């Protein structure tokens, strides 16, 4: 809502600058986004009066104009043809400056010296009139006066950012009420008493409202003997300052009054209303209307129309029809001021994508009382400004039952809710400033009567907000809630998530957050097919794009996208993870809330650690992820994790594993299949993992149990064997433990070698073994015996000792 400050001041004088008022309003609930001057200065542009207009000697399309600017007579060459002697016009004297850094200087035009320029409205920066049409100023403009001042270019405009509850401020008079409440100033209401003449409207015109629920009030007045022309310059300027394009006197006045009262009006060409009749009715199925924008609208019974006896003439509250539009030929008008059902207006405006200043106001609900005031105000202005004859009488079909309503208020409750102490007198004074009526029922009970213009004040709490915002939010003290202690540690699952994040960070992983919606095509690219539960996708009804079309059932697409992006930035070494929710429907389309479960996804690619001079880097892959996961399992004290070959269709056939927890699949680790990597345009190998967190968290144990420290020293032995590659490390270790007996304390693989020094198809594994006994030091012989047993067991798997 644009509020031209000088215009506002007609209804209330806050006694302060526009900026001061803006600050005050912002701090008390009506946010003023910005205060802006209407126009830039026009140095050197002054009011001049045309003395005579002559033909340019050389060019037939130019004229020579002599203008008097008060202290000098200037001769100016001019291309426009809409001026005559005595007209007051804006004269840009030599040395003056027009918008767009346009400097005006004396110049010879086709042999004649032109001392300046006569200006069109557009040349002054106004969106008004034609380009080649000199702006004619009002007759009483004084010669030589600066034009920027005359046109109010220095007027400040307040741009209000209204919250949806404050539709009362969609009109200047509503704003004036607010300003009055803030400053204690008085609201001055404009004149609303038209001088009536001619015949009685009711004698020849009839209004019928067929659907009072959708149109609780409809008023009409008629004006005859009217000439449609431009409205006075001051009104055009005011509308421009409000952000409205001036059109013609009658239409301008309806808009002007809308800006005053927040009540939209519509003007019909009276002579085009068949049978002098208005019927407010639902449209018939198949009925059509060409609206003022020239578009044909197909209607049905969900649309309320204004009609005459044989046709629709307007979409009620949204836009008028072309068939009864005000034109230069119009000689009589019918002015409509009405109240419509807000919901119906919203639906209609949406359906035809016709949001307008009018529909915006009807959608929020207009004040049923102000309908009549606005009607009379418009009639008054038309009578005053156009010379038209306002006919006797007014038609008012009013089925509205809205009356000012009572709200009870306990001053003690005001203070209980606010946590402060505002005196009852202050409370009452604030409510009065707001124009509310008060009645004291009991010592601590007020009956507050709310006028129709404040539909947002319905309950005691609404009034409490009014009181505290006018008292000043800055005066509210700062305290903390006091209350009983509650157990407020985070849930175990949340703490475990934090722990998992911390552990992964300590392993060098960076956390990512990707969108919760994905492109379903990415699941196809991942070869996820058939009855895979990840294809049970919940679609978004109104996504922005296919990229965000369905709710994710895996976090992989998001991280793969992150890889693509990072590669494109040449960030080639990455260790990423995301901890987030996937969505599993109970049925499709969903009728219940879907399940939302946590997934942990890890991804590595490139070198790890980042190349450096201290430790060697290697291609990050399976073991980097497995190591990080093992750390998590260890920290959560989770046992029972096993790995089995080949994870997913989208993983490398011989470089991936399913992860099982107590035999149940909880996820996978693996290199991305080269074919899939190619489909995702990834130029470098990628390894990823995705695991379910809930089964892990169910088994997690965070409290370590201490075992007594060994009292006797351990014996350390190294054992290197050469064995066929097919024999897995797990199998070897299993065999070692199986025969290690009570003395074996720890086994650690410390070297793995494949290459020239071992036969083809084999590899060497070196283990560090720790032996220990709880009671007493081990003898050399005991350790040797234990080691021999282990060696025997490994020989059983085809291993030989590495020499």
Partner 1 sequence: MLQKLKELENEARLKIKAAENIEALKEIKIRILGKKGELTTLLRSLGSVDLEERPKVGSAANALRLELEMLFLGKEQLLRDASLGDKWAKERIDITLPGRPTSLGQKHPLTLITDEIKEIFIGLGFQVAHGPEIESDYYNYEALNFPADHPARDMQDSFYITPEYLLRTHTSPVQIRVMEKLAPSLPVRIIAPGKVFRRDDDATHSPMFHQVEGLAVDHDITFADLKGTLLLFAREMFGPEQKIRLRPSFFPFTEPSAEVDISCIMCEGKGCRVCSDTGWLEILGAGMVHPRVLEVAGYDPKQVTGYAFGMGVERIAMLKYGIADLRLFFTNDLRFLKQFA
From the list 73-81, 180-188, 454-462, 648-656, the region that binds partner 1 by CB under 8 A is 454-462
151 belongs to the binding site for partner 1 (CB under 8 A)? no
Give 27 or 714: the residue with its C-beta nearer to partner 1: 27
- Cα separation, 744 vs 771, in Å, equals 5
- Cα separation, 499 vs 171, in Å, equals 57
Give 498 or 529: the residue with its C-beta nearer to partner 1: 498
User: Using CB under 8 A, which residues numbered 260 to 319 contact partner 1?
Assistant: none
632 belongs to the binding site for partner 1 (CB under 8 A)? no
26 belongs to the binding site for partner 1 (CB under 8 A)? yes
228 belongs to the binding site for partner 1 (CB under 8 A)? no
Please tell me whether the peptide bond between 485 and the residue prior to it is cis, using omega within 30 degrees of 0. Answer: no
506 belongs to the binding site for partner 1 (CB under 8 A)? yes
Residues listed for the chain: 803
616 belongs to the binding site for partner 1 (CB under 8 A)? no
CB of 293 to partner 1, least distance (A): 22
Applying CB under 8 A, the site for partner 1 has a residue count of: 95
483 belongs to the binding site for partner 1 (CB under 8 A)? yes
Query: SS3 for 507?
Result: coil
- Cα separation, 220 vs 122, in Å, equals 37
CB of 621 to partner 1, least distance (A): 15
614, 706, 707, 760: residue in contact with partner 1 (rule CB under 8 A)? 614
Span between the terminal Cα atoms of the chain, in Å: 90
CB 140 within 8 A of CB 225: no
CB 360 within 8 A of CB 317: no
User: Using CB under 8 A, which residues numbered 108 to 147 contact partner 1?
Assistant: none
Query: SS3 for 436?
Result: coil
From the list 179-187, 208-216, 399-407, 417-425, the region that binds partner 1 by CB under 8 A is 417-425
235, 358, 562, 790: residue in contact with partner 1 (rule CB under 8 A)? 562
State the maximum Cα–Cα separation within the chain, in Å, rounded to a whole number. 132
208 belongs to the binding site for partner 1 (CB under 8 A)? no
- Cα separation, 358 vs 361, in Å, equals 5
- Cα separation, 100 vs 125, in Å, equals 9
CB of 467 to partner 1, least distance (A): 9
User: Using CB under 8 A, which residues numbered 162 to 201 contact partner 1?
Assistant: 163-167
418 belongs to the binding site for partner 1 (CB under 8 A)? yes
566, 601, 658, 787: residue in contact with partner 1 (rule CB under 8 A)? 566
520 belongs to the binding site for partner 1 (CB under 8 A)? no
From the list 69-77, 397-405, 555-563, 702-710, the region that binds partner 1 by CB under 8 A is 555-563
353, 478, 757, 803: residue in contact with partner 1 (rule CB under 8 A)? 478
490 belongs to the binding site for partner 1 (CB under 8 A)? yes
- Cα separation, 722 vs 729, in Å, equals 12
CB of 721 to partner 1, least distance (A): 31
Residue 798 tokens, joined: 């085809």
CA angle (300, 301, 305) in 5-degree steps: 85
533 belongs to the binding site for partner 1 (CB under 8 A)? no
12 strand-pairing partners: none
Which residues fall within 8 angstroms of residue 647, CB to CB, at 6 or more apart? 656, 657, 658, 668, 669, 670
Return the closest-CA partner of residue 445 out of 407, 404, 405, 418: 407
464, 528, 556, 786: residue in contact with partner 1 (rule CB under 8 A)? 464
CB 333 within 8 A of CB 300: no
- Cα separation, 360 vs 264, in Å, equals 10
Give 164 or 708: the residue with its C-beta nearer to partner 1: 164
Cα distances (Å, whole numbers) of residue 558 to 190, 553, 666, 669, 687: 62, 11, 20, 17, 14
User: Using CB under 8 A, which residues numbered 323 to 342 contact partner 1?
Assistant: 342
DSSP letter for 606, please. Answer: S
CB 83 within 8 A of CB 134: yes
771 belongs to the binding site for partner 1 (CB under 8 A)? no
15, 111, 406, 539: residue in contact with partner 1 (rule CB under 8 A)? 539
CB of 322 to partner 1, least distance (A): 29
Binding mask 571-610 for partner 1 (x = CB under 8 A): x--xxxx---x-x-----xx--xx-x-----------xxx
- Cα separation, 340 vs 399, in Å, equals 11
In 632-674, DSSP assigns E strands to: 641-645, 651-661, 664-672
508, 520, 685, 695: residue in contact with partner 1 (rule CB under 8 A)? 508
481 belongs to the binding site for partner 1 (CB under 8 A)? yes
CB of 704 to partner 1, least distance (A): 24
781 belongs to the binding site for partner 1 (CB under 8 A)? no
CB 326 within 8 A of CB 248: yes
CB 517 within 8 A of CB 549: yes
417 belongs to the binding site for partner 1 (CB under 8 A)? yes
130, 459, 738, 801: residue in contact with partner 1 (rule CB under 8 A)? 459
Return the closest-CA partner of residue 451 out of 402, 514, 380, 523: 402
494 belongs to the binding site for partner 1 (CB under 8 A)? yes
Strands 389-392 and 196-200: parallel
DSSP letter for 63, please. Answer: E
Give 597 or 716: the residue with its C-beta nearer to partner 1: 597
Cβ atoms within 10 Å, residue 741: 13
Give 320 or 558: the residue with its C-beta nearer to partner 1: 558
509 belongs to the binding site for partner 1 (CB under 8 A)? yes
Cβ-based burial of 641 (10 A; exposed 0-12, middle 13-18, buried ≥19) = middle
- Cα separation, 497 vs 491, in Å, equals 10
Binding mask 361-400 for partner 1 (x = CB under 8 A): --xx------------------------------------
406 belongs to the binding site for partner 1 (CB under 8 A)? no
CB of 565 to partner 1, least distance (A): 6
Give 94 or 594: the residue with its C-beta nearer to partner 1: 594
Give 28 or 96: the residue with its C-beta nearer to partner 1: 28
CB of 651 to partner 1, least distance (A): 22
């Amino acid at each position: 809502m644009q509020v031209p400050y000088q215009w506002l001041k007609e209804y209330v004088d806050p006694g302060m600058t526009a900026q001061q008022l803006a600050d005050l309003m912002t701090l008390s609930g009506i946010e003023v986004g910005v205060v802006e001057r209407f126009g830039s200065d026009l140095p050197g542009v002054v009011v001049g009066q045309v003395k005579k207009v002559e033909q340019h000697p050389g060019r037939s399309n130019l004229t020579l104009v002599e203008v008097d600017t008060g202290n000098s007579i200037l001769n100016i060459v001019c291309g426009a043809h809409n001026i005559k002697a005595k007209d007051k016009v804006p004269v840009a004297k030599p040395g003056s400056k027009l918008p767009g850094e346009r400097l005006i200087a004396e110049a010879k035009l086709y042999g004649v010296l032109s001392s300046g320029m006569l200006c069109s409205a557009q040349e002054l920066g106004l969106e008004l009139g034609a380009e080649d049409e000199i702006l004619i100023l009002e007759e009483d403009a004084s010669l030589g006066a600066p034009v920027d001042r005359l046109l109010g270019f220095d007027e400040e405009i307040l741009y209000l950012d209204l919250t949806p509850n404050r539709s009362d401020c969609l009109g200047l008079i509503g704003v004036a009420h607010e300003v009055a409440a803030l400053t204690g100033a008085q609201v001055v209401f404009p004149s609303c008493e038209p001088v009536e003449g001619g015949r009685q409207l009711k004698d020849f015109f009839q209004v019928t409202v067929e659907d009072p629920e959708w149109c609780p009030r409809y008023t009409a007045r008629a004006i005859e003997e009217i000439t449609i022309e431009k409205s006075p310059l001051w009104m055009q300027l005011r509308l421009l300052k409000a952000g409205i394009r001036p059109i013609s006197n009658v239409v301008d006045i309806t808009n002007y009054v809308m800006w005053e009262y927040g009540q939209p009006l519509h003007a019909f060409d009276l002579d085009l209303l068949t049978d002098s009749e208005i019927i407010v009715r639902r449209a018939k199925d198949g009925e059509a209307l060409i609206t003022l924008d020239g578009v044909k609208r197909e209607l049905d019974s969900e649309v309320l129309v204004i009609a005459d006896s044989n046709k629709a003439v307007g979409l009620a509250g949204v836009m008028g029809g072309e068939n009864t539009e005000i034109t230069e030929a119009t000689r009589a008008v019918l002015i409509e001021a009405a109240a419509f059902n807000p919901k119906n207006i919203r639906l209609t405006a949406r359906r035809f994508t016709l949001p307008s200043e009018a529909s915006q106001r009807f959608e929020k609900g207009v004040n049923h009382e102000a309908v009549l005031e606005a009607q009379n105000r418009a009639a008054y202005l038309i009578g005053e400004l156009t010379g038209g004859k306002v006919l006797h009488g007014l038609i008012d079909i009013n089925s509205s039952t809205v009356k000012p309503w009572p709200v009870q208020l306990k001053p003690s409750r005001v203070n209980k809710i606010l946590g402060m102490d505002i005196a009852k007198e202050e409370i009452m004074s604030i409510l009065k400033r707001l124009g509310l009526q008060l009645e004291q029922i009991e010592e601590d009970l007020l009956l507050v009567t709310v006028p129709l213009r404040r539909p947002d004040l319905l309950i005691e709490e609404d009034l409490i907000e009014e009181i505290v915002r006018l008292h000043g939010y800055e005066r509210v003290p700062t305290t903390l809630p006091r209350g009983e202690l509650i157990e407020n540690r985070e849930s175990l699952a949340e703490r475990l998530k934090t722990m998992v994040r911390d552990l992964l960070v300590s392993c060098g992983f960076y956390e990512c957050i990707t969108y919760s919606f994905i492109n379903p095509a990415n699941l196809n690219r991942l070869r996820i097919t058939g009855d895979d539960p990840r294809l049970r996708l919940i679609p978004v009804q109104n996504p922005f794009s296919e990229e965000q079309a369905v709710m994710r059932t895996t976090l992989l697409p998001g991280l793969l996208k992150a890889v693509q992006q990072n590669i494109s930035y040449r960030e080639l070494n990455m260790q990423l993870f995301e901890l987030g929710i996937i969505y599993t429907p109970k049925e499709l389309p969903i009728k219940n809330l879907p399940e939302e479960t946590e997934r942990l996804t890890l991804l590595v690619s490139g070198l790890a650690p980042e190349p450096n001079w201290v430790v060697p880097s290697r291609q990050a892959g399976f073991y980097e992820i497995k190591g990080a996961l093992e750390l998590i399992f260890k920290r959560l004290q989770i046992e029972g994790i096993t790995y089995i070959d080949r994870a997913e269709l989208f993983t490398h056939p011989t470089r991936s594993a399913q992860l099982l927890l107590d035999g149940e699949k909880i996820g996978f680790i693996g290199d991305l299949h080269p074919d899939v990597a190619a489909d995702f345009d990834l130029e470098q190998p990628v390894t990823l993992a995705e695991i379910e967190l809930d089964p892990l968290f169910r088994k997690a144990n965070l409290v370590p149990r201490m075992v007594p420290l060994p009292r006797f020293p351990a014996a350390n032995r190294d054992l290197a064997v050469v064995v066929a590659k097919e024999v897995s490390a797990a199998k070897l270790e299993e065999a070692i433990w199986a025969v290690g007996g009570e003395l074996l304390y720890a086994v650690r693989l410390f070297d793995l070698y494949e290459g020239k020094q071992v036969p083809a198809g084999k590899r060497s594994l070196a283990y560090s073994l720790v032996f220990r006994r709880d009671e007493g030091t081990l003898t050399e012989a005991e350790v040797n015996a234990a080691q021999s047993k282990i060696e025997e067991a490994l020989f059983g798997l085809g291993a030989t000792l590495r020499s």
